[in-house]
Structure 1
Amino acid sequence: MLQKDGDIDEDVRHRISAGWLKWRQASGVLCDRRVPQKLKGKFYRTAIRPAMLYGAECWPTKRRHVQQLSVAEMRMLRWFCGHTRRDRVRNEAIRERVGVVPIEEKLTQHRLRWFGHVQRRPPEAPVRSGVLKRVDEVKRGRSRP
């Protein structure tokens, strides 16, 4: 889902809302205090995070896109731990409690897995036609690349 200017803001918002949709479907389990937090973290890793990262391996992400994803993730994790921002519990402590790594690392893993898949394809494959072409005749600016 690209915009006219080639940006992915709309797709990132859509993926975050898909994650919240899955969250609402599973809120009975995730908000139950009798369910252990490690189990909630495992459920988050297997059901909600894949909905948020679907198709993200080929996104040209910017820092703000990663920030939006991590903010949504931390809101979900805090919610099912029963903490708010006012409780002043560090993100690392919550992540350690539920056993979830940052979504930024998972985004990098997905991207590298996709890149390896593209690299293993034969050179005449359509997915390889637009990837890794170096153009040497382009005049570059003087400033920092």
Structure 2
Amino acid sequence: MAETLGDLKTMLNGLSRASQQVGLRMNMGKTKIMSNAHVPLQPVIVENAALEIVDEYVYLGRTIQLGRSNFEKEVNRRIQLGWAEFGKLRAIFSSKIPQCLKTKVFEQCVLPVMTYGSETWSLTMGLIRRFRVTQRAMEKAMLGVSLRDRIRNVEIRRRTKVTDIAQRVAKLKWQWAGHIVRRKDGR
């Protein structure tokens, strides 16, 4: 972080030089510039490469953006990642193994991908609903049930015994709050 583009250029060039002295190299393709409305944007050049200017980017598995936090894009991204993980495990979910094992795989592989970092999200009822709709679609796929079968969601949940994603997010939030409260180091 820097207050001016000049300070930022100086810091990045210093980081690049220090990295090279210990045998490391900055990845200019992954290095991005993001600023608030108070800094006029100009290209920043490090090692003869202009760094990309972005409004948002993914850092440590989470979308970072300045300004008012809107988790809609992050929820969309998490749902997409959840479907990707579900797709990788489709052979397991469509196999003849017992439902309790499918549920365990779902709760240990797919749900964590969808809820990673949710402890700090401010979710609206609409975003929670989108998570639930996605989870129900995945549960129907696990059971081999289609909408034409007209099986109620309650029955699908009874069969899969999967934890509701909204309950999982709430539990993660409470666990995080407890972790923060128990700190004794003054932070």
Return the TM-score normalized by structure 2. Answer: 0.63
Shift of 1:122: 3.2
Matched position secondary structure for 2:105 = helix
Shift of 1:123: 6.5
Higher helix share: 1
Equivalent in the alignment of 2:42 = none
CA contact (8 A) 2:78 2:114 kept: yes
Equivalent in the alignment of 2:74 = 11
Shift of 1:28: 1.0
2: distance between equivalents of 1:42 and 1:77?
A: 12
Return the TM-score normalized by structure 1. Answer: 0.80
Shift of 1:101: 2.3
Structure 1: 5+ residue stretches without partners: 126-145
Shift of 1:65: 1.0
Q: Does 1:64 align with 2:135?
A: no
The structure number with the bigger radius of gyration is 2
CA contact (8 A) 2:107 2:163 kept: no
Equivalent in the alignment of 2:88 = 25
Shift of 1:72: 0.6
Higher strand share: 2
Q: Does 1:77 align with 2:139?
A: yes
Q: Count the aligned residue pairs.
A: 124
Equivalent in the alignment of 1:88 = 150
RMSD: 1.4
Identity among equivalent pairs (%): 28
Structure 2: 5+ residue stretches without partners: 1-62
User: Which one is further off, 92-101 or 61-70?
Assistant: 92-101
